Amino acid sequence: MPRLCPPLLALLATAPLGCGPPPPDLAAERAALLQLHAEQRRAHLEHDAGLLTASFADTFYSLGRGRVTTPSRAESTRRFQAYFDQSAFTAWDDTAPPVIRISPDGQMAYVIVQKRVTLTARGAVAGPPEDVQYAWLATYEKRDGRWQLTALASTDRPAEPSR
In a domain, 160, yes or no: no
Is 42 part of a structural domain of the chain?
Answer: yes
Is 123 domain-assigned?
yes
For residues 133-144, one letter each, b for 16 or more C-beta atoms within 10 angstroms of the residue's C-beta and e for the rest, the string is ebebebbbebee
pLDDT tier, 16 (very low <50, low <70, confident <90, very high otherwise): low
Percent of the chain with pLDDT strictly greater than 70: 86
* In-domain check, residue 127: yes
Domain extent at residue 126: 25-155
Total count of domains within the chain: 1
Please give the mean pLDDT across all residues of the chain.
89
What does the pLDDT look like over 35-77, one tens digit per residue? 999 999 999 999 999 999 999 999 999 999 999 999 999 999 9
Q: Are 36 and 55 in contact (CB under 8 A)?
A: yes
Tell me whether residue 17 is in a domain. no
Could you give the CA distance from residue 55 to residue 47 in angstroms, rounded to a whole number? 16
Does 1 map to a domain? Answer: no
Q: What is the pLDDT of residue 10?
A: 55
